[in-house]
Structure 1
Amino acid sequence: MTAAHAEPTDDKSLCVLSTSDIAGIDISLTDVVDVVEQAYHTLAAGQSDNPRKLTVKPADGHSVSYAMLGRDGVRNVVAIKTSYKHGLHEQRDKQHYYTALTVYDDVTGLPVAMMDCGRIGALRTPAVSALLARELAAPGSRTALVIGTGTQGRLALPFLLTTLPQLDRLMVFGTHPDGIRAVREQLHAHFPDREVEIVDDLRAAAGEADVVVATAGPNTPAHVEADWLKPAALCVLVGHGIAPSTLHRADRVIATSAAQMKVTGTDMADANGELRDVDAEFPEILVGRASGRTDVGQSIFAYNSGLVVTDIGLGHRFAQLALAQGAGTRVQLWQ
C-alpha cells in the first residue's frame, strides 16, 4: 500500500486534520485491527523502523512528554508522533493532553498530513490489546474484565469481541459514572445485543476472569494482585489497575516492545527496582518466530506499550480516507 500522495505532486502544503476531521471518518473495528496487525508484521519482517521513544518528565512528575519517530516500509511513509500530558496529579477533567502525528510520503518526499492523534491512539491501543488476547488467552476463555473507563477502557470490550467473539461475560470496574455510561454506549454501538456487568468487588471479578485488561489512570484505587487471578489468566497492562505481582509471578511475560517496557513500565518494578525479563516480543509471536502461550495452564502478563509503527499505519489509513473525502485544511507552512 503506497502513500496518499499530495495533489499536485509538487505541492508542499500541509493538510491539517483536526479533531473534528478525524472524528468524521468512518472506520470499522475490523479495519483497525487489520491495519494494526499489518504494521506488526511489517516491523517483524524488517521493513519498518521503530526506535525507542524519547521521554521528558519534570522532577515533580506533573507532566510527561513523548516523541516517537518511525518509518513504514510497506506504506512508504515516515512519521513523527508527539504526546504531551499536563496535570498528572489532577483528576482527569483537569488534565491537558495533546498528541499529534505528522506523516511524510517517502516516495515523493512531500508531506501527507498532520493530524490530531487522539482518536488514532484511542483505537490503536485497544486493538493491540485485542490482538494480544487473541494470541495469548487460554483456550476456551469466555470471561473478560476491563479495569478503567477512560479513553482506553471505553473501546476495550468492543475490540475484544472483535478478536474473541466467544466471550460471553463482559465485566468492567470503574469509578467514574460518565466513563461507565460511555463504556455501555460504545459496547451497544458496536454490539447492540451484548451487555456489560459493572462490578464492585474487584477481587471476586478478577478471580473469575480469563482475560484482564488494565486501562485505568494513575489515580485508580484498583490494584489486582497475582493471587487474586484464576490459573491460566491473561493480564494485559495498558495503563494502571494491576499490581507488580501480576508481572513478577506470571509464568510468561510478553511485551509489544521490551525496550519500551523498560522506559514506561518502571511502576511495575519489584522492591529492588527491577523489572521481570520479557520472554518474547509480540511482533515475533504474530509472525511465528516466537511462542506466546506454550502451555494451556500458564498465567501470562502482557505489556501493551504503543509502537509508533502502529500509529503510522492507522494514521496513514485515516489520512487516505480523509483526503479522499476532501477533509482537512491546507496550510502553507513552508512557504
Structure 2
Amino acid sequence: MPESVPAPDDTSLRVLSTTDLAGLDIALPDVVDVVEQAYRTLAAGQSANPRKLTVKPDDGHSVAYAMLGRDGTREVVAIKTSYKHGLHESRTEQHYYTSLTLYDDVTGLPIAMMDCGRVGSLRTPAVSALLARELAAPGARSALVIGTGTQGRLALPFLLTTLPDLDRLTLFGTHPEGIAAVREQLARYAPDREVEVVTDLKAAAADADVIVATSGAHTPAAVEADWLRPGAVSVLVGHGLAPSTLHDADRVVATSAAQMAVTGTDMADAEGDLPEVDAEFPEVLAGRAPGRRSPEERIFAYNSGLVVTDIALGHRFAQLALAQGLGTRVPLWQ
C-alpha cells in the first residue's frame, strides 16, 4: 500500500514537521474561508471550544497552554499545546514550541501530529482580517500594523484580502529585518501595493481606520485611546495598544470572553479588572450580536485565537500533506 494512504485500521501517527508543512501551497482567501467556517460552525453549536489551560511559574520565565476542541463540520477532535521559554529574554533567545494532534472522530483513528507554527502564522492574521471586515467603519481606507514579528508579517496581505479598498498601509516596527520581511510578504501577495514605515506612532494611529497590534512584550509601542479617530477599530493580537484603548472603547468584541480573561490580564486596570465584553465574534459572524452599531464608535477587538480555527486549518494542511505522502509514520501505539 502506498505510504500516503494509511490502512483502514492504521493506528500509527503521521508526524508532519515544519519542513513538511513549509512547502504546502494555500491561498489567503482559502485560509480566511476555512477560519470563518470554523467560527460559524462554533456559533451554530456544532463545535466545542473549551477554555484553555495555562501553566506559568511564579517568576514568569515561561508559559504553557493546552487547548482541546472538536470541529463539528470536519468531525475532528484535536489538542493543541504551546510552550514558550525565556519570556524575559529577547526574541532570539526564546524557545517556542507548538503542536497540534488531530483525530478522526468518525473512524476513531489518529490523523496527524504537526508543528503548529505555520497554522498559527496564517490563522491569527486571518482572524484579525475577519474582525476588521466585520467591525471597520463604512468606507475604511487606512490601516496601521504595529509589529514585524510572525503575526505582523502577513497582517497587511490578509487585511487586503478582506478589505481590498484599503488605500493607505502603514507600519510601525523597530527591527530592520522584520520591516524587510513585512515588505517582502506584501510584495509577494500584493505586488502593486506599498507600505509606509512610520516613526510617529501617535500621528499614524490618529490617521488609521484599522489598527492591528501584533508586537512582542518588549515593544515601546503603546497606542492610547485618545489618539484614535472616531470610528477606529483596534485589534489586539500581541502588544502595542495601551489598556485605555480597551477601557475607553465604545464597544468591546472578543473572539472569546473566557480566553480574554485568561490571556488579557496585561490590559487590566489599576484594580486588576477587565471591562465586560459586549459581543463574542462567533455571534457577530452569525448575525446574533451586532458588531459595529454606529460609524463613530471606537471598537476594541481582542484576537486570542480559538482552537477550533487551528483544528480546521490544521486539518486542511494535514489533508494536503497526506495527499502528497509527506510526514513520518510513527507506530506509537503499536
Q: TM-score normalised by the shorter chain: which range applies? A: over 0.9
**Alpha-carbon separation, structure 2, partners of 1:279 and 1:164:** 24
Matched, 1:283 2:282: yes
**Alpha-carbon separation, structure 1, partners of 2:91 and 2:287:** 40
Residue 6 of structure 1 and its aligned partner are, at CA, apart by: 6.6
**Alpha-carbon separation, structure 1, partners of 2:232 and 2:153:** 22
Partner of 1:269: 268
Partner of 1:209: 208
Structure 2 counterpart of 1:124, one-letter code:
R
Residue 8 of structure 1 and its aligned partner are, at CA, apart by: 1.0
**Alpha-carbon separation, structure 2, partners of 1:177 and 1:67:** 33
Where do 1:191-270 residues align within 5 Å? Answer: 191-270=190-269
1:143 and 1:208 in contact (8 A); partners too: yes
Deviations, residues 22-63 of structure 1 (Å, cap 9, x unaligned): 101000000100000000000000000000000000111111
**Alpha-carbon separation, structure 1, partners of 2:15 and 2:232:** 43
Deviations, residues 72-99 of structure 1 (Å, cap 9, x unaligned): 1110100000000001111111110000
SS at match of 2:289: coil
1:252 and 1:298 in contact (8 A); partners too: yes
SS at match of 1:254: strand
Where do 1:47-58 residues align within 5 Å? Answer: 47-58=46-57
SS at match of 1:270: coil
Partner of 1:185: 184
1:6 and 1:111 in contact (8 A); partners too: no
**Alpha-carbon separation, structure 2, partners of 1:171 and 1:58:** 37
**Alpha-carbon separation, structure 2, partners of 1:244 and 1:179:** 25
SS at match of 2:34: helix
Residue 202 of structure 1 and its aligned partner are, at CA, apart by: 0.4
Matched, 1:164 2:175: no
Residue 284 of structure 1 and its aligned partner are, at CA, apart by: 0.3
SS at match of 2:83: strand
Partner of 1:13: 12
**Alpha-carbon separation, structure 2, partners of 1:263 and 1:6:** 41
Matched, 1:309 2:305: no
Where do 1:52-67 residues align within 5 Å? Answer: 52-67=51-66
SS at match of 2:170: strand
Partner of 1:155: 154
Partner of 1:27: 26
Residue 272 of structure 1 and its aligned partner are, at CA, apart by: 1.1
Partner of 2:329: 330
Structure 2 counterpart of 1:9, one-letter code:
P
Q: Which runs of 5+ in 1 are unaligned?
A: none
Q: CA RMSD in A?
A: 0.8
Partner of 2:175: 176
Partner of 1:36: 35
Q: Which runs of 5+ in 2 are unaligned?
A: none
Matched, 1:126 2:134: no
**Alpha-carbon separation, structure 2, partners of 1:52 and 1:263:** 9
Residue 275 of structure 1 and its aligned partner are, at CA, apart by: 0.2
Partner of 1:74: 73
Deviations, residues 194-232 of structure 1 (Å, cap 9, x unaligned): 100000000010000000000000000000000111111
Partner of 1:103: 102
Query: Please, what TM-score do these two structures have when normalized by structure 1?
Result: 0.98
**Alpha-carbon separation, structure 1, partners of 2:35 and 2:213:** 20
1:68 and 1:80 in contact (8 A); partners too: yes
**Alpha-carbon separation, structure 1, partners of 2:82 and 2:273:** 27
1:226 and 1:245 in contact (8 A); partners too: yes
SS at match of 1:46: coil
